[in-house]
Amino acid sequence: MMNKEAFLKRLNGILMGLPEEERQKSLEYYAEAIDDRVEDGMSEEDAVAAMGAPEAIAAQILRDAGIAPDPSLEPPSPEESERQKRRLYTVLIVLIALAAFWRFAGANMVAGTYKIKTKAVSEAFTGISAEMTAYSLEIVPTQGAECWVEYPKNNLNGCEISVKNGVLHLEETRRLTWLSAFLPADRDEHVVYLSLPEALYSAVEATSTSGVVKICPGLTFDAASISTTSGEIKFYAAANAVSLSSTSGGIHVCDIEPSSFTASVTSGDVKLENLAVKDRLSVSSVSGNQYLKTVRAGSVTCDATSGHIGLSGVQADGQLYARSTSGNNTIDHCSAAGIRAESGSGKLSIFSSAATESFFVKSTSGSAAIAECDAASFRFETTSGDLEAQFLRASRSLTAESSSGDLHFAQCDAPEIAVSSTSGKITLGLLTPKKFAVSSVSGHVSCPASAGEEVCSVKTVSGNIDITIEK
């Protein structure tokens, strides 16, 4: 079924040979006729169908104008269209047969099967640079004194090995890259192995598209920089400065002691275990998750957009900063001089953690729960998310502010406590402060426990107050 626009467009196309004015008149006439029928209650498609085929209409108009219509513009006869359809099917079947043949026989004939090649590198080098596309790269230590490269090779793909200016270059080579588009996807993992004698290497730089990059333990580098697109990164070697990045591949690192460490991903996950970083450790992800377990560093920064952050047993000499936007943020058994935990709409959960100085918790709309934590001072800021805090010990002060989120404190110990909210409900239980200030604009305030011994202030503008003072 054709609509009015398509009908008029088609008619206009065929009437191109007609003088502009004549053509315009015809189009106006048919547009009006269709509009009139639609106005009369007919559907647009039915109204167009009532006009008949635009080819036949145009032929009549052109004949009347003394112009021979183009026979190709006549609608194809049913037999003709049937014949065309059959021709199309035949072509399709032939194409499918060709593709099947190519997939099972032709492709292998062209590409050939993979064979493993081995090459010894006799030149001396201190740096390593590797560029891989689909091949995986694995750098392993060797007991011997010689460096070896093992790589898969077939008629199209291989690996080029060279040493220039003290740097060993490994490059995956792909001949006839245009042809590879027609080759069936290779699901096997083809690995280039680089066996390095034990020594201190100045740098390792590796890039890969879909291949995995793995750097094994037992090797030592000054600087390591690895980036992949979809391939995973596994880094287990000793290095001074480590920088890893991947788009959709995951990053896994364990048992290393670098002086600085950076990992960034878009959608892949980052998993760090048993790390001791002298200075700064920084992890960032967009939708990928971050899991840090038993990590010690000078300072720790974790930033995730929609991915989750999970920190367990993370210790920072300086600041520990964990921020998630829409992902959840969980901090468990962590300690630092200062802890700053932020979450946007994700859930924030903090357990059994300690800050020698300040402990700052900020959430926008996500709920926050904190329990069993110590700090010199606690500060909580929430907008609409609720906060639930239990068993907190502050040596100096505890302050909390919220707009509409509820604030709930129980069994918290601090010399000074100040809690204020605009419209959120405030509930305080079993607190032992010396100074105590609670204020609320319209929220309900409930303090059923012992209040301040020296200074006590509870204010609300329009909310209710409910206090029970125990002696």
Partner 1 sequence: MDIQLKKGLLDVCVLAAVGREPSYGYQIVRIIKPFVDISESTLYPILRRLEAAECLTSYSKEHNGRLRRYYAITPAGQARLDGFRDDWEQIRTIYAFIRLYGGSGKKTENEENT
Q: Name the residues that contact partner 1, by CB under 8 A.
A: 25-26, 28-30, 32-33, 35-37, 39-40, 50-52, 56-57, 60-61, 64
Helix ranges restricted to H, 376-427:
none
Shortest distance (Å) from residue 32 CB to partner 1: 6
- Give the amino acid at 225: S
Shortest distance (Å) from residue 46 CB to partner 1: 13
Please give the Cα distance from 50 to 181 (Å, whole number): 49
Shortest distance (Å) from residue 70 CB to partner 1: 19
Shortest distance (Å) from residue 34 CB to partner 1: 9
Instruction: Kindly state the helix (H) or strand (E) to which residue 56 belongs, with its residue range.
Output: helix 54-64
Shortest distance (Å) from residue 22 CB to partner 1: 9
| DSSP letter (8 states) at residue 70 | P
In our burial notation (b when 16+ CB lie closer than 10 A, e otherwise), range 63-86 reads eeeeeebeeeeeeeeeeeeeeeee
**Nearer to partner 1 (CB atom), residue 51 or residue 223:** 51
Q: What HEC string does 106-149 produce?
A: HHHHHHCCCEEEEEEECCCCCEEEEECCCCEEEEEEECCCCEEE
For residues 438 and 459, the answer to whether their CB atoms sit within 8 Å is yes
- Six token digits for residue 276: 């001791």
Shortest distance (Å) from residue 269 CB to partner 1: 59
**Nearer to partner 1 (CB atom), residue 57 or residue 375:** 57
For residues 366 and 346, the answer to whether their CB atoms sit within 8 Å is yes
**Nearer to partner 1 (CB atom), residue 52 or residue 166:** 52
**Nearer to partner 1 (CB atom), residue 20 or residue 188:** 20
Shortest distance (Å) from residue 382 CB to partner 1: 55
**Nearer to partner 1 (CB atom), residue 26 or residue 343:** 26
Q: What is the dihedral of CA 58, 63, 66, 70, to 10 degrees?
A: 60
How many helices (H) and strands (E) the chain has is answered by 7, 30
Q: Quote the crossing angle between the two packed helices 54-64 and 4-14, to the nearest 10°.
A: 40
**Nearer to partner 1 (CB atom), residue 49 or residue 163:** 49
Shortest distance (Å) from residue 29 CB to partner 1: 6
- Six token digits for residue 304: 């995730």
| DSSP code per residue over 294-306 | EEEEEEEEEEESS
**Nearer to partner 1 (CB atom), residue 47 or residue 417:** 47
**Nearer to partner 1 (CB atom), residue 54 or residue 443:** 54
Number of residues assigned to the chain = 471
**Nearer to partner 1 (CB atom), residue 35 or residue 146:** 35
For residues 331 and 353, the answer to whether their CB atoms sit within 8 Å is yes
Shortest distance (Å) from residue 91 CB to partner 1: 37
